[in-house]
Amino acid sequence: MRASAVVMEQPRQLVLTELELTDPTEQDVVVDIEYSGISTGTEKLLWTGLMPPFPGMGYPLVPGYESVGRIVEAGSASGRSNGEQVFVPGARCFGDIRGLFGGAASRLVVAGHRAHPYAEHLGEQGALLALAATAYHAVALANDGGPQLIVGHGVLGRLIARIALLKWGSAPTVWETDAKRAGGATGYQVLQPSADTCRNYRTIIDASGNAAAIDGLVTHLAHGGDIILAGFYAERVSFDFPPAFLREARFQIAAEWQEPDLAAVRNLTAERLLSLDGLISHRRSFRDADEAYRTAFMDPDCLKMILDWRNRA
C-alpha cells in the first residue's frame, strides 16, 4: 500500500513523494485523507530547522497533525467502521521515514483509537480540531472567570477567545500587533498592546509564541495573577524577576491537548456551539505542497492553510 506524502528532507527542503505504508493490523484503520492543515508553530520550526530537541525529531520526516478523511478499511478489532469521517492527529506508518507528526499524506494507517469521528457538517474545518483542543486545554487552566487577556489573534488566539466566551460568558480582551489580523473578532475587542491601560488582569493567556513579550505581560498582571503560556517557544523563556516578584506572578504551561479536550470540542462543534468559521484563509492542492508550506510560513496574510488531498486520480 502506497501514499503520496509531504516529506521534509531537511530544513527548507520539502518534496511530495510516494511512500510505502506499514501494513494495517486488525486494530488499525486505513484512512483516505481529504484535508490537512499546516501548523505555523511547530511545523514552521521543523521547516526552518529551529525546532528544539523533541522526541522523534530528525529528518527526513512527514509533518502534519491536523488531518481529516474517510475510513476505507477498518480492522476487525479497531472499533471503527468503513465510511466514517474521522480526524487523525498524525500517524507513524512510513517505515524508515519519521512520522513527526505524520499526517500530511493521502492515506494513513493508524490505530482505531486515534481515528476520531466528527460532525459531517464541518468538512475541511475538521482539520482545525487539533487547534481547538489546544485552545480548550489552555482555557481549562484559567482561574474562575476565565482569561481576561489573550495575546495573539491568530487561529489559536481566536479559538481561545471563542471558547472562553462559551465557557465563562464574559468577553476577553485580545492583543494583536498586526493590523491585518485585528479583524474577525466576534463578541470581544482586539487592541494594540500599547493601547491597553489595564494593569490588573487576573489571567493572561499568551498564544503568540513570542518569548520576548513576557516581561510586557507581567506589567499588565494583577497581584497573584496567572500567565498561561499556550504557544510553542523556540527561544529560551525568561523574565525580569523584580516586577514578577512584586506581583507574586504565577506561570503555567499549557502542553499539548489531551483526549478529554478533543472530546469536548468535538461535542461543541457537533452541537454548533463552537464555530470554526472564518479561520481558514488559504487552500491549495496537495500537488502544490511546497508552495503551500512556503505561503503558510512566510505570507503574513495567511491565517490558516489547508491542503486538499481529494481528486488523487
- Taking the C-alpha atoms of residue 49 and residue 59, their distance in angstroms, rounded to an integer, is 10
Report residue 14's pLDDT band, with 50, 70 and 90 as the boundaries: very high
Q: Strand ranges (DSSP E) for 40-88?
A: 61-62, 67-74, 85-88
Q: What single-letter amino acid sits at 153? A: H
Per cent of the chain over pLDDT 70 is 99
Which has the closest alpha carbon to 4: 20, 15, 17, 22?
17
In this predicted structure, the answer to whether residue 2 has a pLDDT above a threshold of 80 is: yes
- Taking the C-alpha atoms of residue 80 and residue 20, their distance in angstroms, rounded to an integer, is 23
Q: What is the pLDDT of residues 75-127, one digit of tens each?
A: 999 999 999 999 999 999 999 898 778 999 999 999 999 999 999 999 999 99
- Report helix, strand or coil for 308: strand
Q: What single-letter amino acid sits at 119? A: A
CATH fit for domain 2-117+281-308, picks 3.40.50.80, 3.90.180.10, 3.30.1490.20, 3.40.720.10: 3.90.180.10
56 Rama class: left (phi>0) / alpha (psi -120 to 50) / beta: left
Rg (C-alpha) for the chain, rounded Å, is 20
- Which phi and psi angles does 217 have, rounded to 5°? -65, -40
Report residue 266's pLDDT band, with 50, 70 and 90 as the boundaries: very high
CA angle 163, 164, 165 (to 5 degrees): 90
In this predicted structure, the answer to whether residue 48 has a pLDDT above a threshold of 80 is: yes
- Taking the C-alpha atoms of residue 134 and residue 160, their distance in angstroms, rounded to an integer, is 9
83 Rama class: left (phi>0) / alpha (psi -120 to 50) / beta: left
Estimate to the nearest angstrom the gap between the alpha carbon of 95 and the chain centroid.
25
Average pLDDT over residues 187-200: 96
Domain 131-253 class? alpha beta
Average pLDDT over residues 163-191: 95
Domains of the chain, by residue range, sit at: 2-117+281-308, 131-253
The alpha helices in the chain, defined as continuous H runs, are 42-48, 129-140, 155-168, 214-218, 241-247, 259-270, 289-298
Report residue 313's pLDDT band, with 50, 70 and 90 as the boundaries: low
Average pLDDT over residues 172-195: 95
